[in-house]
């Protein structure tokens, strides 16, 4: 049985309280996720600080990403990717809600 799907299908049809995360593949130290966001920025003053590397891709939509120590937000559009090393503190300052912004995240 081969697992397969489409990252653009099965999205929330309206703004939701939270992001919707689907695990597309997971094995040993690697996890591939599709994240559908309907506007959830990181709460003010909070940062993501992870003990593993994360590679993120904007499949559809748009977002702004702040990386600690950088002078300004990074504008991310469709196709943009960023490699976030472990303990690179970052936050999503804005995200397009409608239609949902779709991220692909590879945690490794």
Of 34 and 95, nearer to its own copies (C-beta) is 34
DSSP state of 92: E
**C-alpha distances in angstroms, 82 versus 10, 18, 65, 108?**
25, 22, 10, 14
Taking the complex as a whole, how short is the minimal distance between the CB of residue 25 and its own copies, in angstroms? 5
Could you say whether residue 73 binds its own copies (CB under 8 A)?
no
Q: Tokens 């099965």, residue?
A: 10
Which position among 21, 23, 30, 47 is part of the footprint of its own copies (CB under 8 A)? 30
24, 28, 29, 31 alpha-carbon torsion, rounded to 10°: 0
* Residues at the contact surface with its own copies, assessed by CB under 8 A: 2-9, 24-25, 27-30, 32, 53, 55, 57, 59, 67, 70, 74, 77-85, 88, 104, 106, 108
């Amino acid at each position: 049985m081969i697992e397969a799907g489409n990252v653009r299908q099965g999205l929330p049809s309206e703004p939701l309280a939270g992001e919707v995360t689907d695990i597309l593949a997971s094995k040993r130290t690697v996890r591939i996720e599709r994240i559908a966001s309907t506007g959830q920025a990181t709460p003010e003053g909070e940062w993501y600080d992870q003990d593993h590397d994360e590679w993120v891709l904007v499949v559809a939509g748009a977002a702004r990403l702040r990386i600690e120590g950088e002078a300004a937000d990074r504008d991310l559009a469709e196709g943009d990717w960023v490699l976030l090393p472990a303990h690179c503190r970052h936050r999503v300052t804005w995200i397009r809600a409608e239609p949902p912004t779709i991220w692909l995240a590879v945690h490794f």
